[in-house]
Each structure stands twice: as structure tokens, then as C-alpha cells.
Amino acid sequence: MLPRRPTRQVVLGDSRVGFVRIGGGLPDSAGRPTEIAPVSVQTMTAGYTYDVDACVAEINKLVAAGADIVRVAVPEKKDTDALRQILPQVRVPIVADVHFHFQRALEAIDAGVHKIRLNPGNINDRSQVIDVIQACKAKRIPIRVGVNEGSIIERRDKQKRMKELGQVFSSQKHGYMLAIMITKLEEYLDIFYEQDFHDITISAKSMDTAVVIDAYTEIARRFDHPLHLGVTHAGPKETGTIRSVVALGSLLANGIGETIRISYANDPVYEVQDGLELLYVLGLRERIGVDLIACPTCGRIQVDLFTLIQDVRKHLAAKITVPMKVAVMGCIVNGPGEAEGADVAVFAGDRRGIIYVQGEKVANVPEPEILDRLLSECLAFQDRVRRGEAKLGEKKVEIIPPDPIGELGSGIAKIAAGQVQRPTGLTIGKT
Ligand code: SF4
């Protein structure tokens, strides 16, 4: 397990939707110890909150994908009004994203929302902030203070402040920006502390990966509140993935970050899926469902492996709920070694697939039957795990490679003889 930074703990939810804990490791306000909670994954709906049915459907879809927390935008009163109908229909803590109008926060709190996000860049009237803090305090609702790069800079004094404050971080590439973010945060949090309000999470997002890493690292050093990690405006999934994973992965690997949101210009389901996968690969969450190992393919393949991998992924994602390791390998040259540790594995060759379950060969089937047979073996293995007759990862795959000439009837000999035909209809790079 990677080391984790101890923080205060924030709890959101209610007895109907359940409670999600963020952070922990430091004593609570009554001095009781708290345990560090698993890193949670959150996302935000893309549709209009006032469109109640569509909003409920989107939230439920995100929950089904694995979201622990869902945020909704409430720019207008009709959005906070809609919360009264939305909240009873969903089973996940809901965060109201408030900008410019502090009244939206008060209305959302009144409607029963589980958390408020405030932006110091656009709700900074002291008395308004205090009103929101007091309303949250009365209902024990936490607040996220989100100092996004783009929204915190007050244009008119940008240059002056950057000059004054940038000296503090002059050794860092993004020193001026960091100085403004940290100072804005400190000024804002002082209002919360004066009200004896500590139910706070902090975010400091930027679209620049280096700024995100530097800002959160500095904030983690200065504050003991749990941190909500994110890269803002990360772009489309194709490029946003790298940007987000580099920033969030670096911070998480260094023990920083208690809840995450990956943001894409795409269906937010991808944000949840990728956020969970990031936590799985870092060992910060216990995997639910299949851990799919697949070879990248090369000139040795003799089946349509890309299609097979996508079909396996799609079908297993819907049916397997135990953290089973499944390997789909294109051939027997490197396949057995690379699939070591898989619970279920298939090695393809000469338009056939040989299937192993925990190291034991169970089938040798022609290409059109590989998918069905692999799925049925996975389901049967899952049943055995559930009945306690098998243990995940217990019997490591110790595969004696199938005979490339005999059993698969092709492999190295045919490759060497130049007799291998690429399967027709194979689309390289198809996903
Ligand atoms: S497992 Fe075989 S087909 Fe796949 S990349 Fe390795 S050598 Fe190529």
C-alpha cells in the first residue's frame, strides 16, 4: 500500500444514501481517532440539473459506473428547486456546485444536498460566505473550497499581486501562480476558521499538469484538510487522460489526495471508469471486477485479437464482480510468461485458442468459439470463488507453453516457414 497523508476527515451523505468518508488519520473534533478512508471517485453531471428525469438518469448511470459522489451544477433557482425532486430518487451523496450566487448554496442546503462547492474567485463577499458556512454548520454539511487557476485571478490586480507574492515561490517555475492560489486559499479559509468550521475539502485545479502537482504538494504541506484532486479543462478523453493521470497519479503515489475527479470533454462515465482504474493500478482501491491483461499484438497474431479483447472486456465488465485476473494473449511466444498470475487465460494461435483456468488447461477451441468459452470459464470460476471452492490469485498460472507445432498446429514453425496468414478483416488499432 502506498503511504497516505493523515488528514482531518470529512463525512458526507445521510442514512438513506449512505455515508462517504474523505480522508482521515487525524482525530475528529471530539478527539476520537479516524481511519484513513479509501480514496473516493467523483464526477459531475453533464446535463441540466433542472431537467429532473434526465438528471436522475445521469446520476444513476454514474453510480452504476462506480461513482462514490456526484456533483451537479446549480446556476439558477430552477436547478436548486429541482434538487428537491432529484435527491429522493438517487442513492449517492450529491454535491451542489455553486458559483457567483451564494443564494444557490443556501437553497441547495435547504433542499438537502450533501456538500457544497464554493469558488473563492466568485463568491468572496465575507458576509455571504459566513451565511453559507453557518447554514452548512447547522446541517453538518461539508464545503469544498475550490481555487481553480482560471477563476481566482482578479484581472485588475493580477500583475501587482504576482509581483508581491511570487517572491515566496520564486524557486518554482509556476511560483506566481502558486503564490496567488495559496494566498487566496489562506485568506478564504480564515473566514471558515473564524466561524470554527473545519468540515472542509480543498481543490486547486489547473489545466497545467505541473501547476496541479506543485499546487497540491504545497497545499498538502500547509493544510490538514482532505484534498480533492483534479485537472480542470483537461480536454477530450484522448489527451485529457494523460494530463490527468500524470498529475493525479504523481500526487497519489506520493500520498497526496483523498478524493479525485478526472474531467473530460466527454461522457462523465469515462471519468468514473478512469478514476477507478487509476486507483486500482496504484493499489489504493480494491478492484471490483476483472483485471484484464492483454498483449499489444504484433506480427505473430493469427486471430482477430483486438476484437476479441474488446468483446471480452465488454462482456466481463457486465458479468464479473470479483477481482479476477484474465489474460488474453495473441500467441504462445511470450503469452505464457506475460500471463503469469492470471486466474483465467487464453492463448491464441492458428485461429484457435487454448484456455487455462488457474494454470490448468481446460479447452482448445476454434477462433469463433473463443469468446463464449472464455466467458463461460470466467463465470464458472467466479461461481467457484463465491462458493469458496477456489481462491483468486491462489494458484499462479504456471503454464507449460502449448506445443507450437503440435497443439496449436502452427506457431513458430509456420512463422519460420513464412506460412502464417494474417486473419482477414483484422483492423489494427480498432478499439
Ligand atoms: S503475446 Fe505473442 S502476439 Fe502478443 S505481442 Fe507478445 S509475441 Fe506478439
349 pocket-lining for ligand 1 (C-beta < 6 Å): no
How many Å apart are CA 114 and CA 399, to the nearest integer?
51
Q: Is a pLDDT exceeding 70 seen at residue 407? A: no
CB atoms within 10 A of CB 298: 11
Q: Is a pLDDT exceeding 80 seen at residue 340? A: no
240 pocket-lining for ligand 1 (C-beta < 6 Å): no
Read out DSSP for 354-380? EEEETTEEEEEEEHHHHHHHHHHHHHH
Element (H, E) at 200: strand 200-203
The closest-lying atom of ligand 1 relative to the alpha carbon of residue 347 is 1
Q: Whose CA is nearest to atom 5 of ligand 1?
A: 297
Please provide the average confidence, as pLDDT, over all residues in the chain: 87
CA of residue 330 to ligand 1 center, whole Å? 5
Q: Is a pLDDT exceeding 50 seen at residue 423? A: no
Q: What was the pLDDT predicted at 296?
A: 87
Confidence band, pLDDT 50/70/90 cuts, at residue 141: very high
Q: What was the pLDDT predicted at 174?
A: 66
Grid coordinates standing for 115? 456538500
Q: What was the pLDDT predicted at 422?
A: 46
3-state secondary structure of 325: strand
| Mean local confidence (pLDDT), 170-177 | 65
Q: What is the pLDDT of residues 35-78, one digit of tens each?
A: 999 999 999 999 999 999 999 999 999 999 999 999 999 999 99
Confidence band, pLDDT 50/70/90 cuts, at residue 324: very high
13 vs 187 pLDDT, higher one: 13
Q: Is a pLDDT exceeding 50 seen at residue 424? A: no
CA distances from 66 to 34, 79, 231 (A): 24, 24, 20
CA of residue 349 to ligand 1 center, whole Å? 10
93 and 13 in contact (C-beta within 8 Å)? Answer: yes
Confidence band, pLDDT 50/70/90 cuts, at residue 331: confident
125-162: string of b/e by CB count within 10 Å (b at 16+)?
Answer: eeebbbebbebbeeeebbbbbbbbbebbbeeeeeeebb
| Mean local confidence (pLDDT), 133-154 | 84
Confidence band, pLDDT 50/70/90 cuts, at residue 122: confident
Running DSSP on this structure, what letter comes out for residue 207?
A: S
Q: What was the pLDDT predicted at 399?
A: 54
Q: What was the pLDDT predicted at 168?
A: 52
Q: CA nearest 343: which of 397, 388, 292?
A: 397
Lowest mean pLDDT among 60-74, 85-99, 282-296, 387-401: 387-401
CA distances from 345 to 341, 378, 385, 400 (A): 9, 9, 16, 13
Q: What are phi and psi of 79, to 5 degrees?
A: -75, -45
How many Å apart are CA 336 and CA 351, to the nearest integer?
17
Q: What is the pLDDT of residues 341-386, one digit of tens each?
A: 799 999 988 889 999 998 888 999 999 999 999 999 999 999 999 9
Q: Whose CA is nearest to atom 1 of ligand 1?
A: 335
pTM of the model: 0.83
Q: What was the pLDDT predicted at 396?
A: 58
| Mean local confidence (pLDDT), 117-126 | 86
The residue type found at 58 is E
Helices 175-194 and 158-166: crossing angle in degrees, nearest 10, is 90
301 pocket-lining for ligand 1 (C-beta < 6 Å): yes
CA of residue 331 to ligand 1 center, whole Å? 5
Number of residues that this document lists for the chain: 431
Percentage with pLDDT > 70 across the chain: 84
Highest-scoring range by mean pLDDT, 11-20, 233-242, 288-297: 11-20
Q: What was the pLDDT predicted at 206?
A: 86
Pocket test for ligand 1, best of 297, 415, 420 (most atoms within 8 A of CB): 297
Q: What was the pLDDT predicted at 351?
A: 87
The closest-lying atom of ligand 1 relative to the alpha carbon of residue 296 is 5
